[in-house]
Each structure stands twice: as structure tokens, then as C-alpha cells.
Amino acid sequence: MNRAADVALAGGGLLLASPVLALAALAVKLEDGGPVLYRQTRVGRDGADFQLLKLRTMVVGAETLGAGLAVNRGDPRITRVGRLLRKLSLDELPQLWNVVCGEMSVIGPRPTLRYQVEQYDERQRRRLDVKPGVTGWAQVNGRASLPWAERIELDVWYVEHRSPLLDLKILARTPFALFSGTYKGETGGWHTMP
């Protein structure tokens, strides 16, 4: 049932967002001629790696410049178009394709990098018991303003208490978190790279 809901929501979301995605892709391409999509290896359910998709918001090769994988507020590697895409969370829309492909779910803990997973303790590894999500409990509870350990704890709480009702609550709260500016910041696991 969850898989059917994921495919329906993600497929419908991609269909509705396709004009916006097309315009965003054109803007990314026109700015510097580089690739439109950025792929990064993230850790999914049961510790399996997958290629997370995002619209590219940083200069080509950003991971080898400046702060490497870390992204700070006002990072000069973020392009002009990238700033707008990040502010509106449009850079995350390609992850709906990750959902359609079964690598992610609409709702779940945000996927993190391998080096972050290697720092998990036994309890924190519970995050890997479910598919990572486009949005989740930590995102709608102040992700950008929370310390890393607290975000992980919120994700573990979600894994231990997940239900259709909780998922509906997260879906309902996501737009408010997006527009209030608390959904994502430019530091931490959410914005580690382009």
C-alpha cells in the first residue's frame, strides 16, 4: 500500500511539476552550460547506496572546491539560479523520480552520506530500517535550526512510530515548513552538495 501511494504521489507530483522542472532545468543550463542534474551517492534502506537526484545548484566540480561536501550559508559556489532553486526547494523535485524508482519514499528520514552513516550508533542505525524520504518528521520539526543529533533522533522516533496518520500529518505540515523557511537551511545533511 505504501509503495502504491508513493508511486501515485511521486508520479502525480512529477506530472504537475514538469513545467516548473523544465524551466528550472533551462535556467541551470543557460547559467553556465553545465549539467542540469547532480547525482550523489546516498545511503538508503538497509544501508544500500543509491544515486540521489537534484537539480544542480552549485558550480561544476564544487565538491573539490572550498569547503568540499559542506555547504555554508552564502557559499560562493552556489550559482545565482541555484540560490533561487534552493530557496524554493525546487532543487529537490528530481527526487520524485527516486521515489518512482523505489529508492526513496515520499516520507521518511532524509538520505545521508556514507561517512555520516558510519558515525551512527546502534540506535541511530534504525533510520536505515525504512526507505529515505523526500520529506520527513525532522523536516517539519525545524530541520534547518536543529543540531544534527536531534534531527537523527526525530528520524528514529519516526521509524519507531510511523503510521498512515503520522505520514498524513507530515504531508500536511510540509508546505507550511517550506514557506516558513524552517524546512531546510544551507548546512548539514540536507544541503551537503549541489
Cβ-proximal residues to 146 (8 Å cutoff; 6+ apart), any chain = 138, 154
Q: What is the pLDDT of residues 99-128, one digit of tens each?
A: 999 999 999 999 999 999 999 999 999 999
Q: What is the pLDDT of residues 29-84, one digit of tens each?
A: 999 999 999 999 999 999 999 999 999 999 998 887 866 666 767 788 999 999 99
Q: What is the pLDDT of residues 137-193, one digit of tens each?
A: 999 998 767 888 899 999 999 999 999 999 999 999 998 887 765 555 433 343 444
pTM, rounded to two decimals:
0.87
pLDDT at 63: 82
**Maximum pairwise Cα distance, the chain:** 46
Backbone angles phi and psi of 124, in degrees to 5: -65, -25
